[in-house]
Structure 1
Amino acid sequence: MATVAAAHHPPWRRFEQKEEFTDRIRNTLQDYNCESWGAGGVAQEFLANADDAGANRFALIYDGRTHGTANLLFPGLAEWQGPALCFFNDAKFKKGDWAAISEVGISQKREDDSKIGRFGLGALTGYCCTDVIHIVSESTFVILDPHGSYLDGGPGIELDFEEQEKAQMSKIYDTLSPLDVLGGFEVEKKHFPGTLFRLPLRTEDTAPKSRILKHVVQQENVDRLLSDFIRKAKDMILFTKHVETVEVYVRSEDGPPSLLARVKIHGAHSHNAALRIELPSRNYLNP
């Protein structure tokens, strides 16, 4: 397995979250009833955070693909190359947004009541289904590992695409290629059009080692999340300030993403607001 050499000047920087993090996550998740898969609230948190960031488009994607493990940033990440839940929005992370993720215990949103989602704390809900979170926005890529088990001992790393040579990027291709869930991201171009959170799902191999949750995410859990979110999307979009399009996709091993649902609101801030709902596949309304 080819990995990046950690010589004198590794291409990444440590990215730390400043709390006894697994304890904080576990306590936060008690409000979400994750083990009985109350994860519909997870998708709502990410939608709220996208709206806070000023995004116009939000998408929930279930990526059912299994990705390669030959060219990874760290060997331990091989356990997280399987199916994932992904949350995309077309806004871009600001410097303060990265700080809010890093300094979860003192989220700046606590002092701003106009913010629906609590940045940092909202992202913690992603640990309902994973122990490792990937975040990419424009040229910045962060991996969070609160256990310090999969990134050679550190709780997180930050990688700036612009600082990397193309040859270096190709050496970690299997770490980066899963970020292309909707199209539009090419590793060689060193730029992601928007923001993506990738949550690789806990498996029978990884769940027993977790100090956060030991719940294995099954296909039925994913189906329930997708169907619940599709049902609620038309109501949730009425309360957003910026998001005008909400989409749900699935992506299988072969082929492009398949649209399950799209909800668009027109004239959101007028008395004549109108919803347009597309349901190309109704299967997830009756899981």
Structure 2
Amino acid sequence: CFVFDPRHHPSDRIFDEKWTPLQGPALCVFNNQPFTNDDVRGIQNLGRGTKEGNPGKTGQYGIGFNSVYHITDCPSFISSNDIICIFDPHAVYAPGATSLSPGRMFRDLDADFRTQFSDVLNLYLGNHFNLSSSTMFRFPLRNAEMAKTSEISSVPCSDRMVQNLLDKLRTDGAELLMFLNHMEKISICEIEKSTGALKVLYSVRG
């Protein structure tokens, strides 16, 4: 399920002020499968993925995953509601990220973490999706300010660009399902900016 979230979220309970730009609009992608340990290792070695050992698996988050950098500078995901992975090539946004270790992983999220960083956790739409045995990716849109200093792209990603992406997906959705053996359904949703309600715009089953 692809979800456009156009909201600017509260930033009181976040890692630190450097994280604030990521509380804005984002494209989220929900997958009803959790990450395996192999998946986590594979996505940490972007470009290689876990595809070689199991070509029939749709969990190969290698080169394909890199395409998200067209719209974001700092993708992340939560899996099994218990592990958060943040990818931060600039080592600017994620706490403790460095050029040698450009990102951060949090495992075994306890009650203190969930309270202290509740505004971060709310970004993954747990009030709309069951995150306990699934994965939610979040791609915060590169805004104009981020684009000024981004070494990935100097082009901001507007709401309109995301809408165009989703329109394209809607056009090709049924055809995609014919070629993706492990995907049974594609949905496109949007969060209402004023109410926070989830609105299903399109859905197709294979």
TM-score normalised over the length of structure 1 = 0.65
Please, what is the CA RMSD of the aligned residues? 1.9
What SS does the aligned partner of 1:192 have?
coil
Alpha-carbon separation, structure 1, partners of 2:129 and 2:58? 29
Alpha-carbon separation, structure 2, partners of 1:117 and 1:171? 31
Residue 109 of structure 1 aligns with which residue? 51
Letter in 1 for 2:93: Y
Residue 89 of structure 2 aligns with which residue? 146
What SS does the aligned partner of 1:159 have?
strand
Q: Classify 1:173/1:248 alpha carbon distance in 2 versus 1 (closer, same or farther; 3 Å).
A: same
The counterpart of 1:160, out of the listed 85, 95, 107, is 107
**1:215 equivalent in alignment to 2:162:** no
Residue 32 of structure 2 aligns with which residue? 90
Letter in 2 for 1:157: R
Residue 167 of structure 2 aligns with which residue? 227
Alpha-carbon separation, structure 2, partners of 1:140 and 1:152? 15
The range that moved more, 191-200 or 79-88, is: 191-200
Deviation of the 1:224 alpha carbon: 0.8
Once the two structures are superposed, residues 213-264 of structure 1 have per-residue CA deviations (whole angstroms, 9 ceiling, x without a partner) of 1111122212211111001001111112122111000112213111110101
Once the two structures are superposed, residues 37-91 of structure 1 have per-residue CA deviations (whole angstroms, 9 ceiling, x without a partner) of xxxxxxxxxxxxxxxxxxxxxx111111110111112321101111101111101
Alpha-carbon separation, structure 1, partners of 2:112 and 2:126? 23
Letter in 2 for 1:251: I
In structure 2, list runs of 5 or more residues that go unmatched.
none
Residue 173 of structure 1 aligns with which residue? 118
Paired residues of 1:71 and 1:172 also in contact (CA < 8 A) = yes
Alpha-carbon separation, structure 2, partners of 1:208 and 1:113? 39
Paired residues of 1:143 and 1:158 also in contact (CA < 8 A) = yes
Letter in 2 for 1:143: I
What SS does the aligned partner of 1:122 have?
helix
Alpha-carbon separation, structure 1, partners of 2:17 and 2:107? 20
Identity of aligned residues (%): 26
What SS does the aligned partner of 1:205 have?
helix
In terms of fraction of residues, the more helix-rich structure is: 1
TM-score normalised over the length of structure 2 = 0.89
Residue 4 of structure 2 aligns with which residue? 62
Tell me which structure has the larger Cα radius of gyration: 1
Deviation of the 1:167 alpha carbon: 3.1
What SS does the aligned partner of 2:157 have?
coil
Q: Classify 1:182/1:233 alpha carbon distance in 2 versus 1 (closer, same or farther; 3 Å).
A: farther
Once the two structures are superposed, residues 148-167 of structure 1 have per-residue CA deviations (whole angstroms, 9 ceiling, x without a partner) of 011245111111244x2x23
Alpha-carbon separation, structure 2, partners of 1:83 and 1:110? 35
Alpha-carbon separation, structure 1, partners of 2:46 and 2:184? 28
Paired residues of 2:39 and 2:50 also in contact (CA < 8 A) = no
